[in-house]
């Protein structure tokens, strides 16, 4: 498998967390009941999964005090292909096929930038007990629905703000320097790469949803590059979000899609108008990505919709999510694997009966 470095803005529904669940009394009894059915928890207590995020960042830092060649050999044995991916693709300091990169690593370890970042990463993550517990639970759900799925090893690393998550052969990497907390002293100086509407989600409790989303998008259900039409992308993203519904049943919707409480409320209030806009503008079958990208990618709001920039971003993702939810509510006999394997976006839309008012 080719390594994939995932930054928040590169994840297509977008690679980052959450507020509180909203209860809208204006919903009908039918919608409430369907939501309860959708969120009904499954007992996964007997599934044998135990996730322990390996602290590669600690083992890597040991290279400064131990003989570098010996520690490098240990890291290559312990972490397999991730070590070479980290050196060559994330740090970009040379090839692990020779030792020339050791000089660059000595310079990294001696630099103030690395030491300041390591200090803050250690402070934010003295341990990863909370993330281990939440990922264990989520991986149990994946195993429930996909018993044969080979779950990845999870490694924590410091990327120098190069990659929030990394997908490779048998592993999923977490760049903890992009989960330090919204008030991290580093993020204000990185606004060109990570504007505030992204960095406000860079919190420790956002790790598990981003790992699950990354596994879904980049490992289990990669998007078909030939699906150019907005409807196809809408349904694809909706299925990813629904997968997260099932695997993260206790996580708030706002966390999964990275909406503020106000943005989520706005979408629910104007759901009919959002759908009407897509229809009136003949966008469902539009294949020009330049025309549809603003409905799929991370942004502070959606230009042209709402007053005073109050609209939510990535409205095609949110709408696709509602369509898939509606479809699954109407077809309780359809399993999650059957849904994820269904490539017919038009059929899912037609059979969802999605007509918000």
Residue 108 contacts by C-beta under 8 Å, 6 or more apart in sequence? 91, 93, 114
Q: Please tell me the distance from the alpha carbon of residue 135 to that of residue 129, in angstroms, as a whole number.
A: 10
Q: Please give the span between the terminal C-alpha atoms of the chain, in angstroms, as a whole number.
A: 45
pLDDT digits (tens, 9 = 90+) for 266-319: 999 999 999 999 999 999 999 999 999 999 999 999 998 888 789 999 999 999
Strand order in the sheet with 171-175: 4-6, 165-168, 171-175, 153-157, 54-55
Q: How many CA atoms lie within 13 A of 176 on its CB side?
A: 26
pLDDT tens-digit series, residues 10-21: 433 333 322 222
Whether 25 has a pLDDT exceeding 60, the answer reads: no
Q: Is the pLDDT assigned to residue 1 strictly greater than 70?
A: no
Q: 154 in helix, strand or coil?
A: strand
| pLDDT exceeds cutoff 70 at 257 | yes
Task: List all residues 6 or more positions away from 35 whose beta carbon is below 8 Å from its beta carbon.
Answer: 27
Q: How far apart are CA 354 and CA 275, in angstroms?
A: 9
> Mean pLDDT for the chain?
90
pLDDT, position 342: 98
**Positive or negative CA dihedral for 43, 49, 52, 53?**
negative
pLDDT digits 0-9 by tens, 37-50: 455 679 999 999 99
Query: What per-residue confidence (pLDDT) applies to 192?
Result: 93
Question: Residue 52: what are its φ and ψ, rounded to 5°?
Answer: -130, 110
Q: Which helix (H) or strand (E) holds 153?
A: strand 153-157
State what percent of residues in the chain have pLDDT above 70. Answer: 89
Quick: pLDDT tens for 314-351: 999 999 999 999 999 999 999 999 999 999 999 999 99
Give this prediction's pTM.
Answer: 0.89
In tens, the pLDDT along 189-216 reads: 999 999 999 999 999 999 999 999 999 9
Q: Give the pLDDT mean for 132-158.
A: 98
Task: Give the per-residue pLDDT at 61.
Answer: 98
Predicted confidence (pLDDT) at residue 114 exceeds the cutoff of 70: yes
- Residue 307: per-residue pLDDT: 81
- Please enumerate in sequence order all residues whose Cβ is within 8 A of that of 328, keeping only pairs 6 or more positions apart, or say none: 38, 242, 334, 339
> In this model, does residue 26 exceed pLDDT 60?
no
Q: Is the confidence at residue 22, as pLDDT, over 60?
A: no
**Residues of the chain above pLDDT 90, percent:** 86
Instruction: Supply the pLDDT for residue 138.
Output: 98
Question: What is the longest distance spanned by two Cα atoms in the chain?
Answer: 67
- Main-chain dihedrals φ then ψ at residue 202, nearest 5 degrees: -85, 65
Residue 34 has pLDDT above 80, yes or no: no
pLDDT of residue 5: 60
């Amino acid at each position: 498998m080719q390594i994939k470095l995932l930054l928040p803005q590169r994840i297509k529904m977008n690679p980052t967390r959450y507020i509180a669940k909203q209860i809208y009394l204006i919903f009908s009894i039918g919608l409430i009941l369907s939501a309860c059915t959708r969120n009904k928890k499954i007992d996964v207590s007997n599934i044998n999964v135990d996730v322990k995020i390996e602290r590669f960042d600690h083992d890597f830092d040991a290279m400064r005090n131990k003989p570098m060649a010996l520690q490098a050999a240990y890291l290559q044995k312990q972490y397999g292909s991730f070590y070479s991916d980290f050196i060559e693709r994330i740090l970009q300091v040379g090839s692990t096929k020779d030792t020339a990169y050791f000089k660059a690593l000595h310079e990294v370890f001696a630099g103030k930038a690395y030491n300041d970042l390591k200090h803050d990463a250690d402070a934010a993550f003295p341990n990863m007990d909370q993330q281990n517990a939440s990922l264990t639970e989520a991986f149990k759900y994946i195993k429930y629905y996909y018993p044969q799925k080979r779950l990845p090893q999870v490694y924590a690393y410091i990327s120098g703000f190069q990659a929030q998550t990394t997908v490779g052969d048998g592993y999923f990497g977490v760049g903890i320097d992009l989960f330090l907390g919204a008030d991290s002293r580093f993020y204000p100086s990185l606004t060109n790469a990570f504007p505030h509407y992204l960095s406000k989600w860079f919190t420790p409790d956002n790790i598990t949803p981003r790992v699950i989303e990354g596994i879904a998008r980049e490992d289990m259900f990669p998007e078909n590059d030939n699906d150019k039409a907005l409807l196809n992308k809408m349904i694809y993203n909706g299925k990813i979000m629904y997968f997260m519904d099932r695997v993260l049943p206790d996580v708030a919707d706002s966390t999964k899609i990275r909406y503020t409480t106000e943005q989520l409320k706005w979408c629910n209030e104007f759901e009919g108008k959002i759908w009407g806009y897509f229809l009136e503008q003949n966008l469902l079958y539009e294949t020009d990505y330049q025309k549809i990208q603003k409905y799929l990618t991370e942004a502070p709001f959606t230009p042209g919709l709402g007053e005073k920039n109050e609209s939510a971003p990535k409205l095609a993702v949110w709408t696709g999510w509602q369509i898939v939810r509606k479809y699954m509510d109407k077809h309780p006999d359809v399993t999650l694997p059957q849904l994820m394997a269904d490539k017919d976006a038009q059929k899912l839309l037609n059979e969802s009966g999605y007509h918000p008012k």
